[in-house]
Amino acid sequence: MNRFKLAYNAGVIVLAVLAATIACALVLWAIGANPTATYITIFTGPFQDMFGVTEIFVRAVPLILVALGIAISFRSGIINIGAEGQILMGILAATATALALPSLPKYLLLPLVLLAGAVGGGIWAGIAGILRAKLGVNEILSTVMLNYIAAQFYTFLLRGPMIDPGELETGSGTPQSLRLPDAAWLSRLVPGTRLHTGLLLALVLAVGVYLLLWHTTWGYRMRAAGAEQKAARYAGIHVERSLVTAMVLAGAFAGLAGAVEVAGVHHRAIENISSGYGFAGIVVALFGALHPVGIVPAAAFFGLLLVGADMTQRSAGVPANMILVLQGVIILVIVSAKMYLNNAYAQEHVARFIERLRAKRPPEPAKTGGEA
Amino acid sequence: MNPGDMLHNILSLGVPFSVALLLASLGEMFNQRAGVFNLGCEGIMCMGAFLAFLPPYFLKATVLGPYGNLIGFAIAMVAGAVLGLLFALVTVTFRASQGIAGIGLQMLGWGVAGTLFRHFIGGVTGVEGMAAWPIPGLSKLPFLGGILFNHNPMVYLSFLMVPASWYLLYKTPWGLKVRAVGTHPRAADSMGINVNRVRYQALMLGGAMAGLGGAYLSLCQAKMFADDLVAGRGFIAVALVYFGRWSPLGILGGALLFSLAQSLQLAIQVGGIKFPYEFAVMLPYVLVILVLSLARKARMRGPSSLGIPYNREMRY
């Protein structure tokens, strides 16, 4: 009964969306904001002008990159929560490279800067990967800890060794690095906005990740190790190596996201550059079903949410932390709904339940849905 | 300052620092013993810290003023239990992946606490917090008195929780059920134990304790609330359960290790030894990674069904 299956899956999704919307509305209501008005601002506000629209994609670029990496790691059976720290390490490596080699021409410097970002993030994630593979350290805990460590290291460098000398002269002491040389900037796609060529890079890499995971032996090994470790090991796949590879790749993508962000948008390392992309990336990856085809639109959707949430902060006084609430609720709802989507077993239960309701209806119409 | 005084200072600061970790970690121990890995502990602590802060802040001038702290602790525990219930719904009933769901709960708790805090309070304000409550007689002991018996009542209470948790886990029928459900749920089920119900109960208990740990942070330790007050202590508490090998005494040791490291770091800074502030803040997080790396054999002794949702209708 294919139509019933469709209706069942649609029902699960509708319930999930409803649960998420209501949960967030409750929090909005608690702070005295009008939930409907807030939702309308979030979803329509960014479309009011060209700048708002491009800004959605400016946010989507790092989200795509981070989420691609997270998809690789989740598919390979290692959970990377450390994208936030990997982004910071990517930013540091990219900035340091750009500042160390200011005289290189653009066609050399820009790729080097991006590569440095990827390497920085990859190494940072590799720590957690190796600890997991060699010592069995829970990668969720280690990546969370590496996030906190990276955040401190980042502030330390920006306040100390990497601080813009001009900040020390004027005495304002804002923790930020020198401005990157022009040759390290990603060009703007639309003049007058912040949209940069990083978007094209992200889209190309999305195709790359698809090819890697589904059309290479390497990707097959990683997915096999993620799907069922014992079977993969029995088939001769080096599971530990695949875990480390997946983690390093995930970190490289997050680091690249940081490098792209610094080369495309801010042009110098400043504090709060990442503003939670590492965590939002997890939500985007899950929302996009851990597949590049899903991740790109999911990232655009979350770009919209982020821009919209900024607007509500300004117009309706809804604190920016609200985006965390939204993300948390969405994660909980997705992981729950996932267990029911395409679940023939649960579907059977629902079908039987409906049958029972139907059978009951004629004799006592008042008591439908009373039990079971 | 002579070394003896310094040691005394470090120890007497370190003991109360351990309480938040200890409470949350004991709660997490019950979760994990029942087979559920609750990373949302961090989010629950945030909510507990925030909600506990509200009553003393708003009731300061009213008749209920003197009871503000007590009401705060109670609310934090209830909220923690409710969040534990939510987590149970997601991971036990819906059987969702526990690691990712935990991160979701962490973001939710952190986000809700931050949003409500910015809306209702806004800036940094303190509360009076809990006063020290020296135990008559014992607090006058020459060296140990100041270290062990000159703290606020929550410190004594949470240290009493260690033997209480031990008793609950090993000497009561419910504790046996918890351990059975976390080790071999199918066997437990066939003996007539309702696996999901025990997991729900354990998660609610764990949530309440994490909420209490958070409340301790805002009411007794920092005596204020900020978005980043908890700062990863919930995750450290989860790591301590591994370090403590799922036993109350081991967890006590772990919590003390961390809090002493923290007070040692403070002492070093106060002592004027040049050391970048950021590296000092990093210390506990580095310590967690080290501790987890060294605790590799511990996993063998852990609950064997940790992290695996139970489905009684499946055959495997």
Q: Is residue A182 helix, strand or coil?
A: helix
Each residue's pLDDT, cut to its tens digit, for chain B (316 residues) gives 577 777 777 888 888 889 999 999 999 999 999 999 898 999 999 999 999 988 888 887 777 667 788 888 999 999 999 999 999 999 998 888 888 899 999 999 999 998 888 888 877 777 777 777 777 777 777 777 777 777 788 888 899 999 999 999 999 999 999 999 999 999 999 999 999 999 999 999 999 999 999 999 988 888 888 888 888 899 999 988 988 888 999 999 999 988 888 888 887 777 767 777 788 888 888 988 988 888 766 666 778 888 888 887 776 5
Query: Are A237 and A46 contacting, i.e. CB atoms less than 8 angstroms apart?
Result: no
What pLDDT is recorded for position B316? Answer: 56
The closest alpha carbon to B36, from B174, B171, B197, B163, belongs to: B197
What confidence tens digit (pLDDT) does each residue in A127-147 have? 999 999 888 888 888 999 999
Report how far residue A132's alpha carbon sits from residue A216's, in angstroms, rounded to the nearest whole number: 25
Does the beta carbon of A370 lie under 8 angstroms from any beta carbon of chain B? no
Q: Which of B107, B109, B293 sits opposite A279 (nearest CB)?
A: B107
The closest alpha carbon to B287, from B233, B249, B245, B248, belongs to: B233
Q: Which of B112, B116, B299 sits opposite A136 (nearest CB)?
A: B299
Bridge partners (DSSP) of residue A270 are A176
Number of Cβ pairs closer than 8 Å across A and B? 145
Secondary-structure breakdown of chain A: helix, strand, coil percentages, each rounded to the nearest 5: 75, 0, 25
Does the beta carbon of A160 lie under 8 angstroms from any beta carbon of chain B? yes
Bridge partners (DSSP) of residue A176 are A270
Give the pair of three-digit tokens for residue A19.
């649960």
Domain annotation covers residue A270? yes
Higher pLDDT, residue A315 or A156:
A156
Q: With an 8 Å Cβ cutoff, are A135 and B105 in contact? A: no
What pLDDT is recorded for position B193? Answer: 92
Does the beta carbon of A322 lie under 8 angstroms from any beta carbon of chain B? yes
Q: Residues 15..54 of A with a Cβ closer than 8 Å to B: which?
A: 27, 30-32
Domain annotation covers residue A230? yes
Report how far residue A329's alpha carbon sits from residue B47's, in angstroms, rounded to the nearest whole number: 15
Q: With an 8 Å Cβ cutoff, are A31 and B105 in contact? A: no
Does the beta carbon of A231 lie under 8 angstroms from any beta carbon of chain B? no
Give the pair of three-digit tokens for residue B210.
């994490």
- Reported ipTM: the value is 0.89
Give the side-chain half-sphere CA count within 13 A for A279: 24
Q: Would you tell me the crossing angle of helices B195-216 and B173-183 to the nearest 10 degrees?
A: 110
What pLDDT is recorded for position B224? Answer: 84
- Interface probe for A, chosen from B50, B89, B107 (most Cβ of A below 10 Å), is B107
What pLDDT is recorded for position B297? Answer: 64
Mean pLDDT of chain A: 86
Domain annotation covers residue A233? yes
Q: With an 8 Å Cβ cutoff, are B232 and A145 in contact? A: yes
Of all residues in chain B, the one with the smallest CA distance to A343 is: B94
Cβ-in-10-Å burial (0-12, 13-18, 19+) of B59 comes to: middle
Three-state secondary structure readout of B254-274: HHHHHHHHHHHHHHHHHCCCC
Domain annotation covers residue A328? no
Domain annotation covers residue A273? yes
Measured between beta carbons, the chain B residues lying within 8 angstroms of A131 are: 289, 292-293
Query: Are A109 and A140 contacting, i.e. CB atoms less than 8 angstroms apart?
Result: no
Range of the domain at A254: 52-317
The closest alpha carbon to A131, from A71, A82, A72, A65, belongs to: A82
Measured between beta carbons, the chain B residues lying within 8 angstroms of A25 are: none
- Interface probe for A, chosen from B54, B289, B315 (most Cβ of A below 10 Å), is B289
Q: How many domains is chain A built from?
A: 1
Report how far residue B152's alpha carbon sits from residue B145's, in angstroms, rounded to the nearest whole number: 13
- Of A209-213, A220-224, B55-59, B122-126, the one with minimum mean pLDDT is B122-126
Query: Is the pLDDT at A260 greater than 90, yes or no?
Result: yes
Give the pair of three-digit tokens for residue B143.
């060296």
What pLDDT is recorded for position A296? Answer: 94
Residue A363 pLDDT grade (very low, low, confident, very high; cuts 50, 70, 90): low
Domain annotation covers residue A136? yes
Question: CATH number of the domain that A176 lies in?
Answer: 1.10.3470
Taking the domain B3-125+138-301, which CATH number applies? 1.10.3470
What pLDDT is recorded for position A362? Answer: 62
Report how far residue A139's alpha carbon sits from residue A74's, in angstroms, rounded to the nearest whole number: 11
List CB contacts of A310: < 8 A, sequence separation 6 or more: A320
Query: Is the pLDDT at A118 greater than 80, yes or no?
Result: yes
pTM as predicted: 0.89
What confidence tens digit (pLDDT) does each residue in A22-39 have? 988 888 888 888 888 888
What pLDDT is recorded for position A372? Answer: 36
Q: With an 8 Å Cβ cutoff, are A30 and B94 in contact? A: no
Query: Is the pLDDT at A369 greater than 50, yes or no?
Result: no
Q: With an 8 Å Cβ cutoff, are A328 and B108 in contact? A: yes
What confidence tens digit (pLDDT) does each residue in A52-75 have? 889 899 999 999 999 999 999 999
